[in-house]
Structure 1
């Protein structure tokens, strides 16, 4: 507890990050071991992910601003996509925002919309997306989304429309 009687939330987060840094070499070894065996297996042609648990993770590490969990989750998506493209898995679908999510606290929804717009705009010029020729498509009740997010979606879909090597489907306002 600090002087005001509040728990050291930042300390908990820092300790979690230190743990992650210390275990990273072991995780790297684990990845190498998996990589040495993965080509013995038949790989899927399509992987679908429901992105869930970012707020719970943020709470578990003591973050006061729960939307930080979504930012970390977005970086994890990038890591997973890198693995999938490296393995040659042609189609990945991610469910990032359900219609139930739209009923959350308006400030949280607004921050999520900002994050979605930022990530969509990053994908427009993302070297990983273009080097792997990833076509990005969005699905769902997109008319529920703010115009700036819909415009970012149109822009990223147009920027990747010519690609066919890999496909990334993003479900938003879906379900």
Structure 2
């Protein structure tokens, strides 16, 4: 009797081979949603367990992106709103994040990636900020780019961009400045001025909303909402997202 694992493996292999490489996204955005609901459904003793499983999936997904030649990956691991959760829950999550980042410092999995962070990282605990600094120093180069969004909010990014633009043009005539402001000027002051717009946004847990993720950069993105929690997200789910993306006709607002 053929095992289900073998069938899945065969299907996964066929699915990957049939993906048109020339049509794959250049920049993928990931919203890793569903850790807590997964923990409750599985009757886990704590959220820490589901968070740790989720970080294993995070590394696996990064390896899939590397394997398929995805040049830019932006992962939203913590929103500004998440910072309003209980101190106990945040403390647990911060410890798990710190363990992940410590692993990425030495893991050859990310040898091809430059790693950078966006968001209000100043709001994070000192020990976590120190690990982030070391990670960015060690992983400061690579042909591909992994951006990790922590304490990130799309509205805040746009507010910060406008503030930066105004400060840069301090002393100029306000009316003249208003006339000069355009898409490119605002883009130059976003957190990722050199990154291309996001081609595909994947959100797990069945939630069909952006929640403020890369509002400016996702204007013409394609969205795929997966009805699985992040800790159970499989490569076959990822490949299905890519297949759906390649089957769509992108119009870029036209």
Q: 1:86 — aligned with what?
A: 67
CA, structure 1 residues 40+49, in 2 after alignment: closer, same or farther (shift >3 Å)? Answer: closer
Query: Who is 1:47 aligned against?
Result: 28
Q: 1:162 & 1:41 partners in 2: Cα distance?
A: 25
The equivalent of 2:94 in structure 1 is 113
Give aligned pairs, total. 151
When residues 119 and 40 of structure 1 are mapped into structure 2, their CA distance, relative to the original with a 3 A threshold, is: closer
The alignment partner of 1:92 has SS state of strand
Q: In the alignment, is residue 134 of structure 1 matched against residue 113 of structure 2?
A: yes
Q: 1:100 aligns with which of 60, 81, 87?
A: 81
Q: Is the 8 A contact 1:55 1:67 kept in 2?
A: no
Ranked by relative contact order (alpha carbons within 8 Å, sequence separation 6 or more), the top structure is 2
Q: Which has a greater percent of helix?
A: 1
Deviation of 1:23 after TM superposition, in Å, equals: 4.4
Structure 1's unaligned 5+ residue stretches are: 1-21
Name structure 2 gaps, 5 residues minimum: 154-254
Alignment partner, residue 26 of structure 1: 7
Deviating beyond 4 angstroms after TM superposition, the runs of 4 or more aligned structure 1 residues are none
Q: Deviations over 1:121-140 (max 9, x none)?
A: 1111111112xx20000110
The answer to whether the Cα contact below 8 Å between 1:141 and 1:173 also exists between their aligned partners in 2 is yes
Deviation at 1:70, TM superposition (A): 1.1
Return the TM-score normalized by structure 1: 0.81
> For the structure 1 residues 75 and 161, does the alpha-carbon distance in structure 2 shift closer, same or farther, using more than 3 Å as the test?
same
Bigger radius of gyration: 2
